[in-house]
């Protein structure tokens, strides 16, 4: 006998209860040399802010090394863990204090891996936030090159006076490109 799969349960909104933790938005201390802000908004299909989303990031250090040490939840204000988690505020804004990642392979485009949990989603959403770079560098990334040219801009951060801006649009015009992570 074969059993049919049943639908999943939505992933929120209950993030404020158990998932955020003190210092989750600090991958490095704010005053550390090279510290920047990676920040933006999470928006729904109508362009309205999502006030109860949770954003996680994973990234390499400035030399392109991926941290593989246990203790990512530990925030001692000097150890770079490469991982962070924060919730959006009532205006849909999120912010991390981090460093710009280096390319994990020579000549590749540096990026931050981003996960979004939000009300009404049956599963998390995965995407990438690429650092602004010359077109030749961006074109060398296999994943970015596989995205339709008119949609690539949704994966590329912009710079402001604080660091990098990456708005995440869950639906609608300029919806962020999300990655398929379904099991084979």
Domain extent, residue 101, equals 15-169
Q: Quick check: is 136 in a domain?
A: yes
- The answer to whether residue 6 is domain-embedded is no
Give the CATH number for residue 159. Answer: 2.60.130.10
What confidence tens digit (pLDDT) does each residue in 113-157 have? Answer: 999 998 877 788 999 999 999 998 898 899 999 999 999 999 999
58 belongs to a structural domain: yes
Q: What total number of domains does the chain contain?
A: 1
* 21-61 per-position pLDDT tens digit: 778 899 998 888 999 999 999 999 999 999 989 999 999 99
Residues 6 or more apart whose Cβ sits within 8 Å of residue 56: 83, 84, 85, 114, 115, 116, 117
- pLDDT range class, residue 71, cuts 50, 70, 90: low
Residues 6+ apart with CB under 8 A from 179: 126, 127, 128, 143
**According to the model, what pLDDT value does residue 163 have?**
95
Q: Is residue 4 part of a domain?
A: no
What is the largest distance, in Å, between two alpha-carbon atoms of the chain? 61
3-state SS class at 27? coil
């Amino acid at each position: 006998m074969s059993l049919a799969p049943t639908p999943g349960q939505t992933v929120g909104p209950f993030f404020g209860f158990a998932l955020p933790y003190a210092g989750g938005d600090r991958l490095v201390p704010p005053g550390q040399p090279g510290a920047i802000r990676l920040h933006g908004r999470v928006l729904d299909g109508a362009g309205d802010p999502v006030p109860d989303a949770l954003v996680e990031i994973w990234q390499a250090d400035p030399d392109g090394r991926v941290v593989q040490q246990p203790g990512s939840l530990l925030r001692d204000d000097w150890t770079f863990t490469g991982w962070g988690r924060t919730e959006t505020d009532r205006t849909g804004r999120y912010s991390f204090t981090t460093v710009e990642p280096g390319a994990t392979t020579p000549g590749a485009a540096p990026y931050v891996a981003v996960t979004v949990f939000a009300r009404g989603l049956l599963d998390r959403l995965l995407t990438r936030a690429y650092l602004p770079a010359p077109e030749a560098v961006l074109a060398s990334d296999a994943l970015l090159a596989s995205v339709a040219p008119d949609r690539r801009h949704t994966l590329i951060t912009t710079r402001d006076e604080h660091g990098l801006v990456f708005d995440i649009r869950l639906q609608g015009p300029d919806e962020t490109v999300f990655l398929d992570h379904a099991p084979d």
